[in-house]
């Protein structure tokens, strides 16, 4: 029986990997240039980290985690996102005692048991960044401007940014009471998820996508009108910071995000090209996360974006990079001696970062020439036993068809010095 990839996962083949590498390298450069250091944490963590970090009332924890018991009887979970693991690492490595803030970025795979559809997978990739230990809205602004820089370099600088503030542990409880009051006579007609969340996390009722729930939320009071002084001031400074950098945004009072750890700033970059979800990138502030997982009271803010969705966005705008690699030189050989000679030069050139190609299938000269053409090699060096014996080889300039005879000894030097 043929075995295929598990549902919701996919192979990324060499052609596509070029785009991935391009995106990942660009992201790495943008992050390094803003003083962020790369971090890698394990693919699986103790389940309790996500229960406490992401939140027991979230869809992720309740329905979507890949949880298993290992042979030692421990409950482990494949990470559904990266922030909780990074917060754990921050606490575990005593990063709070280092000069603050700690600025980190990451490239990870994440796992959620979701309904698979366009732009929604069970294994997906995220690029993200986190700032730990900075309470100031300047950190929130820095992250958004880093993203703006990254998107501009990809030529998608016009992605829509939507922002909101969802308050903190001081103002949220009172607002939750206001919400419950508002929904009290509507909840019976809302979906089962909303009924469950009414008690545990009423904020999420606002962004339910079910039609009857959207209708019920028509006149809902928004938290932006009920923020405490500190949150209101933080949000206002955040917006001023964006304005000063001429960063366009829309205030979307319905953004509440699907993870429990958020406080104050939340934001999303939206596009209609990336499937029903529409979110290319999401993030926000999580001032209570580190203390919720056993650390001190340390603020945090960050984002992550789905690489698969980013690629969909680039694809739909015809912006996939032309990153085809073309061999500088293709050695066409006849016989063992010339093959061995060419292999030696080829190895030396590869060491000097020149892309060379050689046959691996004992092909005829004609077939090797065909392969060189197919690979669009710039130059072909033809070597036979006879040429070797008189210290000569023929270089063929593929674009013009021009042929030159050169001495074998000079090939390496000529190619390196581009004097072919
Ligand atoms: P999130 O909104 O759950 O936030 O995910 C961030 C991004 O990951 C989404 O905007 C989307 O592009 C991508 N994504 C999520 N689920 C899937 C899926 N099933 N298939 C494909 N792509 C997906 C977080 O994960 C937070 N950790 C973001 C954050 C970092 N907040 C603060 N710091």
Copy the structure tokens of residue 272.
Answer: 């209609």
CA–centroid distance, 110 to ligand 1, in Å, is 9
pLDDT tens string 25-76:
999 999 999 999 999 999 999 999 999 999 988 889 999 999 999 999 999 9
Give the nearest ligand 1 atom to 274 CA: 12
Query: What does the angle CA 383 – CA 386 – CA 389 come to, to the nearest 5 degrees?
Result: 100
- What lies within 8 Å, CB to CB, of 60 at 6+ separation is 50, 54, 80, 81, 112, 258, 259
Nearest to 149 by CA among 30, 260, 279: 30
Q: Which of 10, 304, 313, 314 to mutate to test the pocket of ligand 1 (most atoms within 8 A of CB)?
A: 304
Q: Which residues of the chain have pLDDT under 50?
A: none
Model's pTM, two decimal places?
Answer: 0.91
Q: Which pLDDT score is estimated for 419?
A: 57
Burial 313-335 (b: 16+ CB within 10 A, else e): bbeeeeeeeeeeeebbbbbbbbe
Q: At what angle do helices 172-183 and 192-200 cross, to 10 degrees?
A: 140
CA–centroid distance, 98 to ligand 1, in Å, is 28
Q: Which residue's CA lies nearest to atom 33 of ligand 1?
A: 302
Q: Which pLDDT score is estimated for 6?
A: 97
Residue 146 CA: distances (Å) to CA of 121, 129, 130, 222: 26, 9, 11, 29
Residue with tokens 């962004």: 207
Q: Which residue's CA lies nearest to atom 15 of ligand 1?
A: 306
For 166-262, list the strands marked E by DSSP. 250-251
pLDDT tens string 204-249:
999 898 999 999 999 999 999 999 999 999 999 999 999 999 999 9
Q: Which pLDDT score is estimated for 418?
A: 66
- Ligand 1 pocket (Cβ < 6 Å) reads 81-83, 112, 114, 119-121, 124, 126, 128, 130, 258-259, 279-284, 286, 302-306, 308-309
Give the nearest ligand 1 atom to 302 CA: 33
The answer to whether the beta carbons of residues 168 and 263 sit under 8 Å apart is yes
Q: Which residue's CA lies nearest to atom 1 of ligand 1?
A: 282
Q: Which pLDDT score is estimated for 420?
A: 55
Q: Which residue's CA lies nearest to atom 21 of ligand 1?
A: 120
Q: Which residue's CA lies nearest to atom 25 of ligand 1?
A: 81
């Amino acid at each position: 029986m043929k075995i295929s990839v598990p549902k919701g996962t996919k192979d990324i083949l060499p052609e596509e990997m070029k785009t991935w590498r391009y995106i990942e390298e660009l992201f790495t450069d943008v992050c390094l240039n803003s003083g962020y250091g790369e971090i890698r944490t394990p693919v699986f963590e103790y389940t309790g980290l996500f229960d406490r970090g992401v939140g027991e009332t979230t869809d992720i924890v309740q329905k979507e985690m890949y949880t298993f018991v290992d042979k030692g009887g421990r409950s482990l979970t494949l990470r559904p996102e990266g922030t909780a693991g990074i917060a754990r690492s921050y606490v575990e490595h005593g990063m709070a005692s280092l000069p603050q803030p700690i600025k980190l970025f990451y490239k990870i795979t994440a796992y959620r048991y979701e309904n698979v559809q366009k732009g929604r997978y069970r294994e997906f990739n995220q690029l993200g960044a986190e700032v730990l230990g900075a309470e100031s809205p300047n950190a929130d602004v820095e992250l958004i401007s880093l993203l703006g820089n990254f998107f501009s370099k990809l030529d998608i600088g016009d992605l829509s940014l939507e922002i909101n503030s969802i308050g903190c542990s001081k103002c949220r409880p009172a607002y939750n009471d206001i919400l419950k009051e508002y929904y009290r006579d509507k909840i019976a007609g809302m979906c089962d998820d909303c009924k469950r969340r009414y008690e545990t996390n009423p904020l999420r009722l606002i962004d339910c996508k079910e039609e009857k729930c959207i209708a019920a939320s028509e006149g809902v009071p928004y938290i932006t009108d009920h923020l405490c002084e500190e949150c209101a001031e933080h949000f206002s400074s955040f917006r001023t910071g964006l304005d000063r950098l001429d960063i366009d945004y829309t205030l979307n009072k319905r953004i509440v995000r699907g993870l429990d750890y958020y406080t104050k700033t939340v934001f999303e970059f939206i596009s209609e090209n990336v499937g029903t979800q529409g979110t290319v990138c999401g993030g926000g502030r999580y001032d209570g996360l580190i203390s919720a997982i056993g650390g001190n009271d340390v603020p945090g803010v960050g984002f992550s974006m789905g690489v698969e969705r980013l690629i969909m966005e680039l694809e739909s705008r015809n912006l996939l990079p032309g990153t085809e690699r073309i061999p500088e030189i293709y050695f066409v050989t006849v016989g063992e001696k010339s093959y061995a000679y060419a292999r030696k030069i080829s190895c030396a050139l590869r060491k000097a970062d020149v892309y060379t190609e050689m046959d691996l299938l004992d092909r005829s000269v004609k077939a090797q020439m065909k392969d060189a053409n197919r690979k669009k090699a710039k130059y072909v060096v033809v070597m036979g036993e006879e040429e070797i014996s008189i210290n000569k080889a023929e270089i063929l300039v593929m674009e013009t068809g021009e042929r030159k005879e050169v001495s074998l000894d000079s090939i390496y030097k000529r190619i390196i010095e581009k004097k072919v």
